[in-house]
Chain A
Amino acid sequence: MTDPDGATADGALPGGALPDGMLPDGSPVDGSPVDGSPVDGSPVDGSPVDGSTVDDATRAHGFSRRAMLGAAAAGAAAAGAAGAGGFKVGRATAPILGDMAFGFHGDHQSGIVTEQQDRLHFATFDLTTDSRDRVIALLRRWTQAAATLMTGSEIGAGAVGGSPLLPPDDTGEALGLPAAGLTITFGFGRGMFTKDGKDRFGLAGLMPEQIQDLPHFSGDAIDPAFEGGDLCIQACSHDPLVAIHAIRNLARLAAGDASVRWAQLGFGRTSSTTRAQSTSRNLMGFKDGTRNLRAEDTTLVTKWLWAGPTDGQEWMTGGTYMVVRKIRIHAEVWDRTSLGEQEAAVGRSKGSGAPLSGGNETTQPNFQARGASGSLMIPTDAHVTIAHPNRWDGAMMLRRGYNYTDGADTLGKLDAGLFFIAFVRDPRAQYVPIQEEMSRSDRMTTEYLKTVGSALFAVPPGIPHGATLGDGGAFVGQSLFA
């Protein structure tokens, strides 16, 4: 929404055109994987797909709380036998649920190039401890819990399996639900490295320059209630309850060490992260994320998404950076704006998503095209004009945003908009200059949007395949504490 076209691979630079349908790296945009690797290879044994950028998000075995229910209902069923009645037992019928669970281990964290799910629960945390050891212990707990939750299991002794004298380890609202494609992604904010001038954990020298504070963009109205955080967790799932359950239980595991600073629920993805996904619409009613960076664009993903060993902080190799912006839509104003003005502000047709210069959704915009009256068909201050990647040396981002609504404000207006999430290799090059220009010149942004929340995180690499979790085991961000 803030940029249906922004940071994409639209091609056609006014001064150096690429053929339509060709990405700057020469790869096709027709949806075929660049290197022919499977996008959704579903190995039944849960082993990873090697060599592909999507391996972290490879669909693994689908075992679920629901499958467990089947197993329980089967009562005395012998191992390996299918459950009698209800759902099939997960182990014997993995393909049925096979596309519902993603593997936790991988070179990169899940929830980035993973095919975007429908629901979001995002939370940022303040670290309330000054102890480096406690932060490490927290990350270990979170890592093991995340890996467990992603299989569709309850954590610890479960929701009803523990001692009656103890509060249950798991809060239980996801009992009976499958993993529902849950991914859990952890990020580190500036407060992990230095806060109020203090280097609490001996990490100040390891702070990536990529997460220097975002500048104030024209028109920003950041509410401190939606700003920053020492840590963040993004939980995405096809089931809102599964995502909420994940954040709720992870927050509980943090008690005493980290406390929720702010959080956001999101619904209805506003991006597509694989070619198999259709383009969705945002709350402005326009197709959004038409030219997003996608999992199959392995060359581009390597170039624009994953931090490399020479990017400044070697521990971030295989990681990425996460820009989070809560962008409210002036919905009532937008809704009473004429169709012509809406399309002029965006630069695209509301119905088809095609640029106003003609064609279909995937056609390159022609910024020189003029209509019968002699005026430019795509206005110079249209969103597509300002945000077009060719204006920005082809810079791309992987957007993974969601719609949000917090109900109505005190004036009775719809309190809703876009919860913008983008993953980039360097926000200084791939986000800040584009947003600066948009906040000044983009009619859609300046007239109809207001950014009320903002945060920036370093997303460390994933946990290698085969790594043991738990006490003394691997944890997210381990390379930072090495």
Chain B
Amino acid sequence: MDTRHGWVAPRALAPRHSAAIERRRFRAVGLERAGAVERRRPTAMGARAATLATIAALALAGCTSNSTNGAASIAVAIADDTCTLSAAQAPAGHAVFTLKNTGSKVAEFYVYAADGTTIIAELENVGPGITRDLVVALDEGTYVTSCDPGMDGSPIRSDFVATAAGRTESPSAERQAALDAASTQFLAFVRAEANSLATKTKAFADAFAAGDDATARSLYADTRVHWERLEPVAESFGDLDPSLDLREADLGPQELWMGWHRAEKVLWPPTDGYAITEADRASIAAQLVADTLDLKSRVTDPAFTIAPFAIGNGAKELLDELATSKITGEEEVWSGTDLWDMQGNVDGAYAAYESLRPIVAASDPALATELDQRFGDVNAILATHGSLAKGFVPYSALTHADVLELSRAVEALSEPLSRLTAAAVL
């Protein structure tokens, strides 16, 4: 098929298109300019509309001529019998056609190559009253736009020219410097947490190995907070997470259970008589110390870096962890210290966001405002159940209403957080 065939909604996942998806994915990541890409644009709209709103954001995206990527903006006014473009040309690069249907019919809009038949991009089913965006990547050259207000086969066609204006869509030097600064800042956070984790783990492990369960219990949750703050980084190493953080429910047959949660079950045994040998205690303790030192040495290796997209994705993953296993009380099934873990997850996600925030505040200020607010909401709710300094209530003390409130706040944070990476990196 034509490699420049547009890939826009609505569309189905026919096998023949999978290659096109992969190509486009690659292109979009690399910010190359061939082919059509439709995506949400950063906008300077009010906070509310930007929040979650796929539709609203798209509806407003026409005003993106000053967006960071500098996409050209063309208004397409559709009535029952007319279709008017606000411009007949635009600089090559990304162009946003904002279709506004004020007629009573369902309309469609196509961008064809110069031959008038090869589809570059299309948007169908634009219902009465609807505004939608079609984002197209245009190489320099001539195109044909086609607008059909009734989708009845009598389109209104006109030529459209992409001119050779020298616009760049690569990250500017300024943006690149900001991304580098974000990586540096977040890396410092990760290294500090890994250091605290290793130090506190040593104290915990010593008490545990010595059979001083009271001390070990008092150190358990506070130590794990550091792990929960940097878990996505640790997970990226593959081997450390299963060794340190496997829950009993995660165990496969014949699998040796080590790590935090084995110690947890020993310290908060389900019934009297959940016994463990001294040798096992020693071996669990030694492994915890070795693993956390290993983690520390890996992240403090001068060659270790964290890419900006990994920072944003890591923030989302931390909230996903919270939303699935922490909010249900499954993570700390014996100790009931899930609220410490939740606070750790939120802290880690916030640190990631904080490092990217200067970039997001410029590229999508509404998203930054939303995230500030939603992080604040979650932290405020957690604070009603305790604090890291003074300790939290056990999970079992939470009522269903408490859990529901927390869950809803986490969902309200997680949806906009899922747009952090794109806002920072694109």
Which A residues are within 8 Å of any B CB, using their own CB?
A: 44-48, 60-61, 63, 65-66, 68-69, 71-73, 75-81, 90-92, 94, 104-105, 128, 131, 133-134, 137, 140-141, 144-145, 147-148, 150-167, 169-170, 175-176, 252-257, 259, 463, 465-471, 473-474
Contacts and interface: CB of A to CB of B under 8 A. Distances in A.
Interface in B11-37: 11-14, 17, 21, 24-25, 28-29, 37
Contact of B129 (A72, A76, A81, A474): A474
A163 B422 contact: yes
Contacts of A158: 8-11, 38
Contacts of A151: 106, 125, 127
Q: Which of A44, A72, A78 has the most CB of B within 10 A?
A: A72
Given A91-B151, A164-B28, A79 B108 contact: yes
Given A157-B39, A166-B40, A148 B55 contact: yes
Contacts of A150: 127
Nearest to B133: A157
Contact of A145 (B17, B55, B118, B422): B55
Contact of B415 (A71, A164, A255): A255
A242 to B, nearest CB: 13
A148 B39 contact: no
B127 A161 contact: no
A255 B52 contact: yes
Nearest to B8: A161
28 contacts: A45-B152, A47-B104, A63-B125, A75-B1, A75-B2, A77-B117, A80-B153, A91-B151, A91-B152, A92-B153, A137-B48, A144-B55, A144-B131, A147-B128, A148-B125, A153-B9, A156-B57, A158-B38, A160-B11, A161-B10, A163-B39, A164-B24, A176-B12, A254-B52, A255-B414, A257-B52, A466-B102, A468-B129
B416 interface: yes
- A interface, by DSSP: helix, strand, loop or mixed? loop
Contacts of A156: 9, 40, 54-55, 57-58
Given A148-B55, A470-B55, A157 B151 contact: no
A471 B9 CA distance: 21
Nearest to A463: B129
Given A144-B55, A165-B28, A255-B415, A160 B13 contact: yes
Nearest to B152: A91
A92 B48 CA distance: 40
A230 to B, nearest CB: 13
B114 interface: no
A175 B124 contact: no
Interface of B: 1-2, 5, 7-14, 17, 21, 24-25, 28-29, 37-40, 45, 48-49, 51-60, 100, 102, 104-106, 108, 110, 116-119, 122, 124-125, 127-133, 135, 146, 148, 150-155, 309, 370, 374, 408, 411-412, 414-416, 418-419, 421-422, 425-426
Q: Which of A63, A69, A160, A176 has the most CB of B within 10 A?
A: A160
B49 A63 contact: no
Nearest to B16: A73
B24 to A, nearest CB: 8
Contacts of A94: 151-152
Contact of B146 (A76, A79, A161, A466): A79
Contacts of B155: 79-80
A470 B128 CA distance: 11
Identify the interface centre among A48, A170, A253: most chain B CB within 10 Å of its CB: A253
B151 A465 contact: no
A144 B56 CA distance: 8
> Which 7 pairs between the two chains have the least Cβ-Cβ distance?
A158-B9, A80-B153, A156-B54, A163-B39, A256-B412, A91-B151, A161-B9
Given A162-B39, A467-B129, A65 B2 contact: no
B29 to A, nearest CB: 6
Given A61-B106, A105-B128, A466-B128, 11 more contacts: A61-B105, A72-B14, A90-B151, A156-B40, A156-B55, A158-B8, A158-B11, A164-B24, A165-B309, A256-B412, A256-B415
A161 B38 contact: yes
A77 B102 CA distance: 27
Contact of A166 (B9, B152, B374, B419): B419
B56 A140 contact: yes
Contacts of B421: 165-166
Given A465-B104, A466-B129, A253 B55 contact: yes
B419 A259 contact: no
A371 B408 CA distance: 61
B129 A157 contact: no
B171 to A, nearest CB: 13
A169 B151 CA distance: 24
Nearest to A474: B129
A253 B54 contact: yes
A216 to B, nearest CB: 23
B131 A470 contact: yes
Contacts of A78: 116-117
B58 A157 contact: yes
B419 A255 contact: no
A471 to B, nearest CB: 5
Given A61-B151, A255-B411, A160 B7 contact: yes
A80 B154 contact: yes
A224 to B, nearest CB: 10
Contact of B102 (A160, A167, A252, A468): A468
Contacts of B151: 61, 63, 90-91, 94
Contact of B408 (A128, A162, A164): A128
A6 to B, nearest CB: 36
B48 A134 contact: yes
Given A128-B412, A160-B11, A165 B56 contact: no
B40 A162 contact: yes
Nearest to A126: B408
A324 B100 CA distance: 37
Given A91-B148, A256-B416, A147 B119 contact: no
A76 B128 contact: no
B412 A255 contact: yes
Nearest to B56: A141
Nearest to B121: A161
B105 A471 contact: no
B9 A170 contact: yes
Contacts of B13: 160, 175-176
Contacts of B105: 45-47, 61
A471 B53 CA distance: 11
Contacts of A152: 10, 125
B11 A91 contact: no
A148 B58 CA distance: 13
Given A148-B55, A465-B104, A166 B8 contact: no
A61 B130 CA distance: 16
Nearest to A133: B48
